[in-house]
């Protein structure tokens, strides 16, 4: 009997399965915030206090990837946007953690592209041009004007003076670095011989995919020499430069009326030196005042990086960097249309790839 009691007791005690509590996350200090002054106003905010929340997302701006961190509540907003760079090199990578400074930029006040029929080499033979930008007709009268950096597909629907029509599309990079340059040029010679080539030998070309009316006719020649068997045709070259740049350049050719052509529009993408490659744009709305970062080229007015580290994943499942830095730079104060000084310590999130 006594042994039975013992056994029952032991069974009672040890039969209780011991389970583990789920671990509770550790408390921490705010991760994202802005401290300092702007235009004499003291700022000290952080995500998680006063309803401030750090929103981060990746988005496309004129076909170029942007990464945004937005520290905001219902009243105020601190927006940080980093632009992609090296966009003419497919699948390029850039280790942001290696940088010590990130330059500030802004939407240019001067156009990055301004293009009319008169800018074309055969403009005198062109009656009108309808511009199609990224599939949408450019409605403004006059020249095509683009202020915002981006990679645009620009199509020119041309009506020549002889009332013939033609169109050609090119991918044009505006406001970002072009790491290889070169305009597709062509010559229609005797016996309908077509020569196509690039006029910038300083950028070494690895190979070119040549398309004749969208049909691949050559994949390994840099220059093209063929007999054109149609009176008009589209000639497209996908150029693979040795430095990794891949660009698409197109022309429209009329071998019978040689003046009725549409030249390579990428020739016009270098009208501005503006580069948003890995530049940061900042927009601040604080206490009813609005401030925008100003393009800065001097290191002293760039964001000095304290640290860049992996933070985690945002609500969209994107990996997020925690970027900490100091900034002493002028900002444009929209209400007074004047420059004001800002001295800020920033901790913000960017879902940089």
Enter the tokens of residue 212. 């004749």
User: With respect to other proteins, which residue has the nearer C-beta, 17 or 95?
Assistant: 17
Contact 218, 205 (CB under 8 A): no
Minimum Å distance from CB 344 to other proteins?
A: 19
User: With respect to other proteins, which residue has the nearer C-beta, 17 or 227?
Assistant: 17
User: With respect to other proteins, which residue has the nearer C-beta, 49 or 243?
Assistant: 49
Using DSSP's 3-state secondary structure scheme, residue 119 falls into helix
Contact 232, 165 (CB under 8 A): no
User: With respect to other proteins, which residue has the nearer C-beta, 17 or 202?
Assistant: 17
Output the 3-class SS for 239-299.
EEECCCCEEEEEEEEECCCCCCCECCHHHHCCCCCCCCCCCEEEEEEECCEEEEECCCCCH
Minimum Å distance from CB 286 to other proteins?
A: 19
Minimum Å distance from CB 88 to other proteins?
A: 33
Minimum Å distance from CB 21 to other proteins?
A: 6
Minimum Å distance from CB 8 to other proteins?
A: 10
Q: Which helix (H) or strand (E) holds 11?
A: helix 2-14
Q: Which residues contact 35 (CB under 8 A, 6 or more apart)?
A: 43, 44, 45, 344, 345
**Among the listed residues 96, 98, 63, the one whose alpha carbon sits nearest the alpha carbon of residue 80:** 96
Task: Report the interface residues with other proteins, using CB under 8 A.
Answer: 2-3, 6, 9, 12-13, 16-22, 24-32, 46-49, 52-56, 311-312, 314-315, 349
Minimum Å distance from CB 35 to other proteins?
A: 15
User: With respect to other proteins, which residue has the nearer C-beta, 14 or 201?
Assistant: 14
User: With respect to other proteins, which residue has the nearer C-beta, 49 or 161?
Assistant: 49
User: With respect to other proteins, which residue has the nearer C-beta, 52 or 198?
Assistant: 52
Distance from the first to the final alpha carbon of the chain:
71
Q: Give CA separation, 347 vs 35, 189, 257, 265, 316, in Å.
A: 9, 62, 61, 42, 20
Contact 221, 213 (CB under 8 A): no
Minimum Å distance from CB 6 to other proteins?
A: 7
Structure-derived torsion over alpha carbons of residues 161, 167, 169, 172, reported in degrees to the nearest 10: 10
User: With respect to other proteins, which residue has the nearer C-beta, 23 or 214?
Assistant: 23
Minimum Å distance from CB 41 to other proteins?
A: 24
């Amino acid at each position: 009997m006594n042994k039975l009691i013992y056994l029952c007791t032991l069974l009672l005690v040890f039969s209780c399965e011991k389970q583990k509590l789920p671990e509770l996350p550790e408390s921490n200090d705010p991760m994202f915030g802005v401290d300092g002054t702007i235009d004499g106003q003291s700022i000290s905010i952080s995500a998680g206090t006063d309803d401030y929340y750090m929103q981060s997302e990746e988005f496309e701006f004129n076909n170029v990837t942007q990464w945004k961190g937005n520290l905001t509540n219902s009243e105020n907003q601190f927006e940080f946007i980093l632009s992609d760079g090296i966009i003419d090199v497919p699948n390029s990578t850039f280790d942001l953690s290696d940088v010590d400074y990130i330059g500030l930029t802004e939407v240019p006040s001067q156009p990055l592209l301004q293009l009319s029929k008169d800018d074309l080499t055969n403009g005198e033979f062109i009656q009108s041009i309808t511009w199609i930008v990224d599939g949408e007709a450019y409605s403004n009268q006059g020249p095509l004007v683009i202020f915002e950096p981006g990679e645009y597909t620009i199509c020119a629907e041309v009506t020549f003076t002889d009332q013939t029509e033609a169109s050609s599309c090119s991918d044009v990079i505006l406001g970002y670095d072009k790491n290889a340059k070169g305009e597709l040029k062509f010559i229609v010679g005797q016996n309908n011989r077509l020569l196509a080539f690039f006029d910038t030998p300083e950028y070494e070309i690895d190979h070119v995919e040549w398309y004749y009316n969208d049909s691949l006719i050559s994949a390994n020649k840099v220059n093209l020499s063929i007999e054109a068997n149609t009176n008009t045709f589209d000639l497209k070259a996908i150029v693979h430069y040795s430095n990794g740049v891949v660009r698409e350049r197109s022309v429209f050719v009329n071998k019978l009326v040689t003046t009725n052509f549409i030249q390579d529009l990428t020739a016009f993408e270098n009208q501005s030196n503006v580069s948003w490659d890995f530049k940061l744009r900042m927009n601040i709305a604080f206490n009813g005042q609005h401030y925008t970062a100003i393009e800065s080229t001097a290191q002293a007015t760039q964001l000095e990086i304290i640290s860049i580290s992996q933070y985690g994943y945002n609500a969209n499942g994107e990996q997020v960097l925690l970027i900490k830095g100091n900034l002493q730079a002028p900002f444009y104060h929209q209400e007074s249309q004047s420059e004001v000084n800002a001295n800020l310590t920033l901790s913000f999130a960017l879902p940089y790839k």
